[in-house]
Amino acid sequence: MADLKTATFGGGCFWCVEAIFQEVQGIEKVVSGYSGGNAPGHPTYREICSGLTGHAEVIQLNFDPNQISYEEILIIFMTTHDPTTLNRQGADAGTQYRSVIYYHDEQQREIAEEVVKAVQQYYDDPIVTEVSALDVFYEAEDYHQNYYRENPNQGYCNYVITPKLNKLRKLYSDKLKA
């Protein structure tokens, strides 16, 4: 097995972003969690939802760079959520739903900044995606992991996540797992 790399980012509810990347070829593992806040210790979902901790709902994934590049991952990320809405994705509002890329090293920072600039041409409004260094990633509670796969008929999943997956399948059919 190749040496896996790690990427961390958030684009609204982590259930949506997790569901997207579980379908992408070269992604070995996807974990929902929290990052970017200032609360001491491991925050809970309830604390995150208060908006007071400063954390964002994010996913952290491990990928095989021989199958998919960090740049390709970010392009998929930037085109399967709305990076132009500040602290909001659809009906989900608050700083915990911000669009953010947490880079793990200088190379990831440079690539993230390049991708954000490159995809701006596809949006009428300015991109507000934050690009910041990863400090700490906290894994979310077990019931948040694999949420869409375990609850595909739940209302939020049908209304919000399934259309995102359909968009992914239409735009990136060549990048999906068989």
Q: For residue 168, what is the domain's CATH number?
A: 3.30.1060.10
Query: How many domains is the chain built from?
Result: 1
Q: What is the mean pLDDT of residues 56-78?
A: 97
Tell me what pLDDT residue 91 has.
Answer: 85
Domain interval for residue 154: 5-175
Helices (H), the chain: 14-21, 45-49, 70-79, 106-119, 147-150, 155-156, 162-171
The reported pTM is 0.95
Query: How many other C-beta atoms are found inside a 10 Å radius of the C-beta of residue 100?
Result: 23
Q: What is the mean pLDDT of residues 103-129?
A: 97
Q: Which long-range contacts (CB under 8 A, 24 or more apart) does 90-93 make?
A: 90/12, 90/160, 92/12, 92/13
Catalytic residue among 13, 16, 49, 157: 13
On the question of pLDDT at 1 being above 90, the answer is no
**Catalytic residue list contains 157:** no
Using DSSP's 3-state secondary structure scheme, residue 134 falls into coil
